Amino acid sequence: MAPTPPIVALKNAHITLGATILFEGVDVAIGRGDKIALVGRNGSGKSTLLKALAGVVDLDKGERYIQPGARIGYLHQEPDFSGHATVADFVSAGLVEDAPYRVQAVLDELNLPGVRAAATLSGGEARRAAIAQALVSDPDVLLMDEPTNHLDLPTIEYLEKALQAFRGGLLLISHDRAFLNNLARKTMWLDRGTMRETERPFAEFEAWRDEVFAAEDLAYAKLDRKIAVEMKWLREGISARRTRNMGRVRALHGLRKERADRNRQGQVKLAVSDAENSGRLVIEATHVAKSFQDAEGNARIIARDFSTRILRGDRVGLIGPNGAGKTTILKMLMGELAPDSGTIRLGTNLETVVFDQRRAQLDPNQTIRQVLLPFGGDSVVVGGTPRHVASYMRDFLFDAGMLEQPTRALSGGERNRLLLAKLFAQPSNLMVLDEPTNDLDMDTLDLLEEVLSDYPGTLLLVSHDRDFLDRLVTSTIAVEGDGVVAEYAGGYSDYLVQRPARTPTAGAAAKTADAPKAAEAPKAKRKLGYKEQRELDQLPALMDKLGDQVKKLEAKLADANLYARDPAAFQKTSSDLDKAHQDLATAEERWLELEALKEELESGA
C-alpha cells in the first residue's frame, strides 16, 4: 500500500540564527491522522521548526510543501489579539464557515466568556482563547507549541480529548509527559541540529533515546575517555540520572504508605509533643473554612471543614481548577492568610523558601557568579557543605565558562535552572512551589524532580503536571471548588482512583433510576496471582544483584587508564554498564507497578 502523501512537509530544511545553525538537512512530513511529538532540548530549534511548517518564517535553504487548499492551524505561544474587541471576535476569526455555535461550544468547554475584552486576558486565559481559535478552525494539520502552559488540569484533560478525536495531522511540542504519552503515536527528536524519527510513541522515547546514546557511545569509545564523558554529559544532561535508584523508589512508596496509614488511623495518635518540639510537625489545619465575597456580593466558598496534618519530610501536591482556591489554601497553610473558622498551627523553627514563577528574584544585570555568590568567594554552601561554584553549576547543567555571563543573556530554560540553583543554595526546611513547572523544558523538569526527591525538608507543591506529581508527591490535596477540599494519599493517579464519584445531576439520576439494573460486576480479586506474587518476591534480590553489578562496572570505569591500557575492555565495560542500568530501571519500574497493584487489591479499590 502506497504511503499517504503529506499535507505539509519540509525537505532539506536549513535555518540559522546569527552564526548559530539551528538545524540543517531536516526532513519533516505530516499527513492526515498523524499524531507526532516533537522533542528536543531547550533552544534546539523546535519552535522555529514549527513556525517554518506554518509558513511564519522562511527557510534559509530547502523547500516547504503544502497540499493545495490545505488549512494549517498554528497555536502561537503569544497570540496577537490586535483588531479583536472581544474573545468571541478573536475565536471567530478561526472559522472557515459561518458557525457561531461552534465558537460558543468551545468557549463553554474552556470556561471563557465570549464577551470578555480580549485585551484584558491573563496569560492562561489568552492561551485558552488561542486554543479555542485553533480548534474551531477545523484545520487539516494542527501545529501546537506548548499548548498546556498555564492551563489547569480540567482544561488539559478537555484538550486531550479534543485532540484524541481530531482526525487531521497533529504535531506537538510540550514538556507535559502525561499529555504526550496520551496523544503522541510517533516521535521526532531534534537533536544537535539534525532530526531523528521513530514510529514508536512518545511513551517509549526514553528507551529509544538510550538506545541511540548507547550506539553513539561505541563510536565515542575511540576518543579519549575524558572527551567521551564530557560529550555524554553535554548530550544527556541529567537524563542518565532520571531513573531513580532502589532506595528512592522504596522511600517514595514507603512515604505514601505511611501517609495513607496516617489518614486511616486518624490524627490523634500523632499529636506527640516531642515530635512537635523537634520540628516534626510542620503544619496542622483543623476544621478550616474560608470564603470571599465576589463583585456582586455573593459568597464564594473556598473551603469548608478542611483538616490536614503535614509532618517533616512530607511532599504535598495541591491540584484543582484555576479559580478554585489553590493559592488561597496555600497561603492559609503558610500562615499568610487567616481562615474564617478553624485553626492553622505552624511548627517551630521553619525556614521557608518560595519558588517565584515570574523569576523576579533574578537581576538581569547580574552575572551567574553574582547570583550564586552575592557576597563573593568561590564556594556555595549547600546543606551545610561548601561546594565550589563551578561544581555546583554543573549540577544545574551550566558550563563553568558561563560564570561571568549576565542573566539577561540566558535562555528561558537557563534562567529557570539558575533560579533553582539559587533557591536550593538557601537554607530551608519548608519549600513552597506555586506552579514551578510552567514554562520549564524537560531537562529542567528532570532536574527539579531529582533535586526535590533528595530534598530532606517539607514540600508544598502546586502543579498541573500529572506526571510530575505522580513521580514526586506523597499526598495530594484536591481543591475541587464550591468549598470541597480533601486530601488523598499518593500522586495524581492515586487521587483519580480514590476520589468519590461525582453526584449525578437530577436528570442523570432519573435516567439511572428508570434504567434496568445491570448484572453485578464480578468482584475484583483480593490478591495478586501466583505468578505476579512470585515475581514480586524475586524482584528485590534481582535489583540488589543488578545494583551490585552497576557499582562494580562503575568502579572499573573509574580507572582513568583503562581505555589506554585495553580499549576493548573499556568498550565492553561501557556497554555492560548501559545494559545493567537499563535492566535495573526495568526491574524497579516492575517492582513499583506490582507493589501498587498489590496495595490497590488489598485495599479493595
Residues of each annotated binding site for ATP: 40-47, 320-327
Burial class (CB in 10 A: 0-12, 13-18, 19+), 105: middle
Instruction: HSE, CB side, 13 Å, CA atoms: give it for residue 20.
Output: 7
- DSSP state, 587? H
Instruction: HSE, CB side, 13 Å, CA atoms: give it for residue 328.
Output: 26
| Residues in a beta bridge with 353 | 431
User: What is the rounded distance in angstroms from the CA atom of residue 155 to the CA atom of residue 47?
Assistant: 23
Write the DSSP string, 321-332: -TTSSHHHHHHH
The single-letter code of the amino acid at 514 is: D
User: What is the rounded distance in angstroms from the CA atom of residue 347 to the CA atom of residue 280?
Assistant: 8
The single-letter code of the amino acid at 280 is: R
Write the DSSP string, 89-125: HHHHTT-SSS-HHHHHHHHHHTT--TTSBGGG--HHH
User: What is the rounded distance in angstroms from the CA atom of residue 319 to the CA atom of residue 313?
Assistant: 19
Mark the binding-site residues, compressed into ranges. 40-47, 320-327
User: Pairing relation of β-strands 35-39 and 186-191?
Assistant: parallel
DSSP helix/strand/coil, 62: strand
For the four alpha carbons of 151, 155, 157 and 163, in that order, the dihedral sign comes to: negative
Burial class (CB in 10 A: 0-12, 13-18, 19+), 111: middle
CA 190, distance to chain mean position in Å, is: 20
User: Pairing relation of β-strands 315-319 and 458-462?
Assistant: parallel
Q: Which three cell numbers stand for residue 295?
A: 463583585
For 322, phi then psi, to 5°, come to -60, 135
Cβ-proximal residues to 359 (8 Å cutoff; 6+ apart), any chain: 415, 416, 419
- DSSP state, 303? E
Q: Are 60 and 15 in contact (CB under 8 A)?
A: yes
Q: What are 565-568's contacts with CB under 8 Å, separation 24+?
A: 567/221, 567/222
Cβ-proximal residues to 465 (8 Å cutoff; 6+ apart), any chain: 175, 176, 177, 178, 437, 445
Nearest to 68 by CA among 138, 4, 11, 5: 5
